[in-house]
Chains A and B, each alone.
Chain A
């Protein structure tokens, strides 16, 4: 049953790579924005909050199109990155990772923000009286205490990235071996006669991946909780 063709394996490997890179690259930004929203009051905070959540409520095709006109080769940001850093997004797997990262971003930020808001700031005060400067307080107290939220956000973003379809296909199309993920491969297979068996295989893989991600986060979350409450 799970006798995948090389093309199908490529789609699976590419999907994993895209989801991993998207989540890893989004994480530092997710922590920074989550921290800003949880801890700081500034002009335009509601606007930032809205922008972060926009991919959640916009049609994915719209998000993909916005990425295309801004990060495409002729887009203002895309042209800048190409000229100065040689980074190209359009019709590359990196573009798929960007699309997945943007789509997963609200799901990443929200649990991190909630976890940061729930932290007892008195513990941070205690750390500062023990000689920790602000950066050390953040990395030795704040971030470890927010770990369960961090894990939840990472999982949600990763899962979103695994299944992203609309924004990815709009932004970087559906090129086998470059931007064709499991989702877009299934879509292609359903469009051709006799593609059902292959589509079924990829669907099973997709379910397996989703389950594995869910179990991994459950396990990590439980370990993080145990760490806080003793054995």
Chain B
């Protein structure tokens, strides 16, 4: 079943982005070299970047449609976003970071949900700390937890491991795989590393120079010379 439909155009400096793909449940990898436009596509899905033309739909909701002047603002899209650098709020504790989305939407506290996600990501012992006192891996797990706690309809992960060293990468990947298998939230996962995507992706959209070069199963990762992108 199709969950996400993206068909967008945007001029970004010298790059003319023209991307069209569909994603279903599971993890869709946006794969390609640096500068291919992966992050821009994800930012458009989140509503942080406005396409020049096109449409984006999630489930049966149109999030963006230039022809009908529809542009749902990011805070009403309910799309979880895990950024490359985590982007935890430095002035809030880990607990307040995790709780931020619930407070903003005014939903009542759901202790069960909170406990479950804290356990899934193994961050229960970090709750009273400040983000400045976390390791890179801990920070990204909290960022994933914070995005999950808004009960997103879709989870975007933009190079969530890129800022981590090899050890921390190995530490966090199993959590993401567990997330894919247990949480049942469709994910769009951006990376330029084939090895990482082999662990997590169920389908692959390969971007190159602002265009979709190929779309299909994870065998696409083998076709690409991953070293060229590393």
Residues on A lying within 8 angstroms of B by beta carbon are 120, 122-123, 125-133, 136, 140-141, 144-145, 147, 227-231
Contact = CB atoms under 8 A, between A and B. Distances in A.
A183 B44 CA distance: 58
Contacts of A126: 81, 83, 87, 89
Contact of B80 (A123, A129, A227, A230): A129
B79 interface: yes
A139 to B, nearest CB: 11
A131 B101 contact: yes
B58 to A, nearest CB: 14
Q: For the side of the interface on B, what is the size category?
A: 20 to 34
Which 8 A-B residue pairs are closest in the complex by CB-CB distance? A230-B130, A130-B101, A126-B87, A132-B104, A230-B133, A129-B81, A131-B104, A128-B74
A133 B103 CA distance: 12
A127 B78 contact: no
Interface of B: 46-48, 73-81, 83, 85, 87, 89-91, 100-101, 104-105, 129-130, 132-133, 146-147, 150
Given A122-B85, A229-B132, A130 B100 contact: yes
Contact of B73 (A120, A127, A133): A133
Contact of B132 (A132, A140, A228): A228
Contacts of B129: 230
Given A130-B150, A131-B75, A140-B104, A228 B91 contact: yes
A128 B73 contact: yes
A128 B48 contact: yes
Contacts of B77: 129
Contact of A130 (B48, B90, B104): B104
A198 B132 CA distance: 52
Contacts, number: 76
B83 A145 contact: no
A120 B89 CA distance: 10
Contacts of A136: 75, 104
9 contacts: A128-B75, A129-B46, A129-B48, A129-B80, A130-B75, A130-B147, A227-B91, A228-B91, A229-B130
Highest count of chain B CB atoms <10 Å: which of A120, A125, A126, A127: A126
B117 to A, nearest CB: 14
A140 B92 CA distance: 10
Contact of A132 (B75, B78, B79): B75
Nearest to B87: A126
B132 A230 contact: yes
B150 A125 contact: no
A183 to B, nearest CB: 38
B87 A123 contact: yes
A145 B90 contact: yes
Nearest to A141: B89
A129 B90 contact: no
Contact of B100 (A127, A133, A145, A230): A127
Given A129-B46, A130-B101, A228 B75 contact: no
Contact of A125 (B74, B76, B130, B146): B74
A145 B87 CA distance: 13
B159 to A, nearest CB: 14
A158 to B, nearest CB: 24
B105 A131 contact: yes
A39 B25 CA distance: 39
Nearest to A144: B91
Contacts of A231: 130, 133
Contact of B91 (A129, A130, A145): A145
Given A136-B104, A145-B91, A129 B85 contact: no
A203 to B, nearest CB: 40
B79 A129 contact: yes
A130 B146 contact: yes
Chain B CB count within 10 A is highest, among A120, A129, A133, A145, for: A129
A126 B75 CA distance: 10
A131 B77 CA distance: 8
B42 to A, nearest CB: 11
Nearest to A145: B91
